[in-house]
Chains A and B, each alone.
Chain A
Amino acid sequence: MKNVNVMNRRKFLASGAALGGGLLISFALPASVKKRMAATGEGTGTYFAPNAFLRVGVDDSINIILSHVEMGQGIWTTLSMLIAEELDADWKNISIEHSPAGPSYIHTAYGIQITGGSSSTWSEFDRYRTAGATARVLLVQAAAERMNVRPEDCHTENGMVISGNQKVAYGDVATAAAALPPPAKVALRSPAQWKYIGKGIKRLDAPAKVNGTAKYGMDVQFPGLLTAVVAHAPVIGGKVLSFDATAAKAVAGVRDVVEIPTGVAVLADHFWAAKKGRDALDIKWDNGPHTGLSSAAQLASYKELAGTKGLPALSKGDAEKGLAGAAAVIEAEYFLPYLAHAPMEPINCTVKISDGHCDIWTGTQMPGIDQAAAAKILGLTPAQVNMETPYLGGGFGRRATPSSDFVVEAVHIAKASGKPIKMVWTREDDMRAAYYRPAFLHRMRIGVNKAGYPVAWQQTIVGQSIMAGTMMEAGIKNGIDDSSVEGVNDSPYLASVADAYVGLHSPKLPVTVLWFRSVGHTHTGFVMETIIDDLAHHAKKDPVAFRRTLLQNSPRHRAVLDLVAEKANWGKPLPKGHFQGIAVHESFRSIVGQVAEVSIDPSGQVVVHKVTCAIDCGLAVNPDGVVAQMESAIIFGLTMAKYGEITIEDGRVQQSNFYDYRIARMNEAPAIDVHVMPSAGEMGGAGEPGVPPTAPAIVNAIFAATGKRIRTLPFGNQNFKQA
Chain B
Amino acid sequence: MEKFTINNRSYEADVPQDMPLLWVLRDVFGLTGTKYGCGVAQCGACTIHLDGEAVRSCVTTVARASGKSITTVEGLSADTTHALQRAWLTEDVPQCGYCQSGQLMSAAELLRENPSPTDKDIDDAMSGNICRCGTYPRIRKAIHLAAKLQKEGGKS
Contact = CB atoms under 8 A, between A and B. Distances in A.
A250 interface: no
Interface residues of A, number: 61
A212 B137 contact: no
Given A394-B133, A666-B127, A72 B139 contact: no
Interface in A628-663: 628, 631-636, 657-659, 663
A636 B39 CA distance: 22
A633 B26 CA distance: 31
Nearest to A219: B32
A2 interface: yes
Given A206-B89, A666-B123, A270 B27 contact: yes
Contacts of B27: 221, 227, 269-272
A345 B96 contact: yes
Interface string B85-112: 1001100111111111100100000000
A393 interface: yes
A628 B33 contact: no
Contacts of A269: 27
Contacts, number: 182
A427 B95 contact: no
Interface in A650-684: 657-659, 663-667, 669, 671-672
A215 B97 CA distance: 10
Contacts of A426: 39
Taking chain A's interface residues, is the majority helix, strand, or loop, or is none over half, making it mixed?
A: loop
Contact of B43 (A205, A391, A628, A658): A658
Contacts of A343: 96, 98, 132
A216 B98 contact: yes
Given A211-B76, A218-B35, A344 B98 contact: yes
B: interface residue count bin:
35 or more
A346 interface: yes
A625 to B, nearest CB: 8
A628 B42 CA distance: 25
Given A272-B27, A632-B95, A210 B89 contact: yes
Interface in B33-77: 33-40, 42-43, 45, 72-74, 76-77
B93 A632 contact: no
Interface string A53-82: 000000000000000000111100000000
Contacts of B35: 216, 218, 344-345, 393
A411 interface: no
B135 A427 contact: no
A212 B23 contact: no
A71 B97 CA distance: 9
A210 B133 CA distance: 15
A344 B38 CA distance: 8
B11 to A, nearest CB: 15
Contact of A270 (B23, B92, B135): B23
A34 interface: no
A202 interface: yes
A628 B130 contact: no
Q: Which of A213, A269, A272 has the most CB of B within 10 A?
A: A272
A109 interface: no
A72 B131 CA distance: 11
Interface string B139-152: 11000000000000
B96 A203 contact: no
Contact of B30 (A202, A221, A344, A345): A221
B100 A631 contact: no
B80 interface: yes
A218 B36 contact: yes
Interface of A: 2, 71-74, 202-203, 205-216, 218-219, 221, 227, 252, 269-272, 342-346, 391-396, 424, 426-427, 624, 628, 631-636, 657-659, 663-667, 669, 671-672
9 contacts: A72-B94, A206-B97, A252-B16, A270-B28, A392-B96, A633-B134, A665-B128, A665-B130, A666-B139
Given A214-B97, A633-B134, A666-B123, 20 more contacts: A216-B35, A218-B32, A221-B27, A269-B27, A270-B27, A270-B28, A271-B23, A272-B20, A344-B98, A345-B37, A346-B36, A394-B133, A427-B43, A628-B95, A628-B135, A636-B134, A659-B42, A665-B136, A666-B126, A669-B137
Q: Which 6 A/B pairs are nearest by Cβ-Cβ distance?
A: A212-B33, A635-B134, A209-B97, A393-B98, A72-B96, A72-B95
Interface of B: 16, 19-20, 23, 26-28, 30-40, 42-43, 45, 72-74, 76-77, 80, 84-85, 88-89, 92-101, 104, 122-124, 126-140
